[in-house]
Amino acid sequence: MLKRLILSVVFALPLYAFSQSQSPSNSNDYLLPSPKADRIILNLSETPLEGIGVNWRTDTSRHVSQLEFAIATAGPEFRENTTHIQAKTETLISQQDEEPIIHANYHQVDLKGLKPGGQYIYRVGSADNWSEWFQFAIPEDDKEVNFLYFGDSQNEVVSMFSRVFREAIINLPKMDFTVYAGDLINHESADFEWGGWFEAGQWIHATTPSMMTPGNHEFSKNPATLTPHWNAQFNLPTNGPKGLEETTYEVNYPELKIISLDGEQIDESPTYRKAQMDWLRTILTNNPRKWTVITFHYPVYATAPDRYHDKMIDYIRPILQEFKVDLAIQGHDHAYARGRAFEENGKLDYEKGTVYVVSVAGPKMYDVKPDKWMTRKAYGTQTYQWINVKDDVLTFKTYTALGKLYDAFEIKKNSNGENTVINHIPNTPERLQSK
C-alpha cells in the first residue's frame, strides 16, 4: 500500500503539474489546503438557541488555529470587543484517485452561551491569515423555525447542485438551518469531491448552519466504514449512540425535535441498527416537543422501480408509527415523492401517519414507479424544500431548480396531537417518466 502511495506521488506529481499548465480550467489545485482557512462551516448544536458548531480547514503549516468572536454591531465597532478561542485540531491525510496525497488540518470550535435572537460575528485563522468576518443569527425563542432540505447532491456537485442551492437562497426567506439527506458527494473519501461540495455552497455554509445525515456514498464497504472526512470536516452533535457520533443525533428547538439516523448502519450493521432503534425509542418516549422531524438516507418507501428498503420498513417504520413522527425527509432514490402510508394488520392507510418525502438536489435521476402512497411525485427534477414549523402548523413547500412551486402541503395538529394533511398542490402537470 505504502509503495502504491509513494509511486502515485512520484509519478502523479509531474503529470499533475503538466495537466495544470496544459489545461488550467480543469485543475483542482484551487481545492488544495493553504495557510488560509477554507471549508468553513457552521453546524447545528444539540441546543441551537444556545450554541453552534464551527469547523474549518487549513494546511498543516497551521498547527494552531483560532476563532475570533463578537456580538455583531451595525458598524465596525464589534472589533473592539472580541474573544479569541483556540480550536481543537486534527490532521486528515487523504487522496483522490492518483492525485497527490493531501495533508490537511481540520479545526473545530463549539460556541456556547449564545442567546436567542442574538446576532454574532466570527472569523477563523490566525493573525497573519484571517478569513473574512461571517455573521449569523440565533433564532428568537418564538417557537417558529424555518429550514431548507436537500436530497442527494452527490454528482457534479459544483457544476449542477450549486444552481439549486443558490436559487433557494435567493428565493426563500432567511433560513434558520439546512438539512442534507445524505450522499452529499459520490466517493466517500475523494477530497476534491468534498472540496466541490464546499465550493458549491461557499460562504453560505459559513453563515447558515446545517445538519447532515450520511448516505451510502459517505461510506466505504465491507464493513461499512464512515469516511474520516465526515467527523473531521463537520462539527455535528454527538448525543446519539456510542460509535455513531455526528451521524445519529438529535437537535432540539423549543417546539421541534429533529433527528438524524445513520441509514447505512441501519442497513449494514445489526449492532448499530439495534443501538439506533433503542436510542430512537428512548428519545421519542415522553418527547415534550410538539413537532418531530426525522432525516435518514434510505427512504422507507422507495420510488425507484427496483428498490425496496426492507430494513427501513421492518425496523424503522414501526417506531415512526408508534411515536407519531410527523415528517421523514429522505434521499437515495433520485426522484421526488411525497405521501403517507400507515401499516396496520398488513394493510396500508394512505390518510394516516408520518408524511414521507424523497427528493434529489443533484443531476442523477432514477425512474419513478408510481405507487399509491405518493400524493405528488416527479421524475428528473432537481428540487429544494422549505419547511416552516409554527404553532400547530407545519408548512412544506417544494420548488424546482427554476424556483417554481411544485408541491405544497400543511400538517395541522389538533389538541390531541392528531395530524391532518391539507394539500396545496399547484395546478401544474406532474413531471413523470414511469416504468
N-to-C CA span, the chain: 45
Nearer CB in complex with Fe ion: 285/308: 308
| CB of residue 119 to Fe ion, shortest distance in Å | 37
Sheet hosting strand 383-390, strand order edge to edge: 88-94, 102-111, 52-59, 38-44, 210-212, 177-180, 145-150, 383-390, 393-400, 405-413, 419-423
Nearer CB in complex with Fe ion: 139/215: 215
The three cell numbers of residue 338 are 411525497
Q: How far apart are the C-alpha atoms of 261 and 233, rounded to whole Å?
A: 19
Q: How many residues bind Fe ion (CB under 5 A)?
A: 4
Q: How far apart are the C-alpha atoms of 420 and 412, rounded to whole Å?
A: 5
Q: What is Dmax (Cα atoms) for the chain?
A: 69
| CB of residue 337 to Fe ion, shortest distance in Å | 15
Applying CB under 5 A, which of residues 68, 167, 176, 183 lies at the interface with Fe ion?
Answer: 183
Nearer CB in complex with Fe ion: 332/338: 332
Nearer CB in complex with Fe ion: 225/375: 225
**What DSSP assignment string belongs to 299-350?**
-SS--STT---HHIIIIIHHHHHHTT--EEEE-SSSSEEEEE-EEETTEEET
Question: Could you give the 3-state DSSP secondary structure of residue 143?
Answer: coil
**What DSSP assignment string belongs to 231-250?**
HHH------SSTT-TTTSEE
Nearer CB in complex with Fe ion: 309/376: 309
| Only segment of 141-149, 173-181, 330-338, 341-349 that touches Fe ion (CB under 5 A) | 330-338
Applying CB under 5 A, which of residues 57, 123, 205, 332 lies at the interface with Fe ion?
Answer: 332
| CB of residue 157 to Fe ion, shortest distance in Å | 14
How many residues appear in the chain?
Answer: 435
Nearer CB in complex with Fe ion: 57/332: 332
Question: Cell numbers 436559487 label which residue?
Answer: 167
Q: Binding string to Fe ion for residues 273 to 312, with x set by CB under 5 A, is what?
A: ----------------------------------------
Nearest CA-CA partner of 43 in 205, 185, 187:
205
Nearest CA-CA partner of 327 in 351, 299, 353:
353
| CB of residue 332 to Fe ion, shortest distance in Å | 4
| CB of residue 182 to Fe ion, shortest distance in Å | 6
| CB of residue 256 to Fe ion, shortest distance in Å | 26
Interface with Fe ion, residue 326, by CB under 5 A? no
Label the pairing between strands 355-358 and 347-349: unpaired
Nearer CB in complex with Fe ion: 134/298: 298
| CB of residue 145 to Fe ion, shortest distance in Å | 27
Q: What is the dihedral of CA 324, 212, 252, 119, to 10 degrees?
A: -140
Which residue has the closest beta carbon to Fe ion? 332
Instruction: Tell me how crowded residue 14 is: count the other CB atoms within 10 A of its CB.
Output: 9
| CB of residue 186 to Fe ion, shortest distance in Å | 10
| CB of residue 215 to Fe ion, shortest distance in Å | 4
Interface with Fe ion, residue 213, by CB under 5 A? no
**What part of residues 65-84 is at the interface with Fe ion (CB under 5 A)?**
none
Amino acid of residue 140: E
Interface with Fe ion, residue 216, by CB under 5 A? yes
The three cell numbers of residue 354 are 408520518
Interface with Fe ion, residue 334, by CB under 5 A? no
Interface with Fe ion, residue 215, by CB under 5 A? yes
| CB of residue 154 to Fe ion, shortest distance in Å | 7
| Only segment of 7-15, 137-145, 244-252, 332-340 that touches Fe ion (CB under 5 A) | 332-340
Positions that interact with Fe ion (CB under 5 A)? 183, 215-216, 332
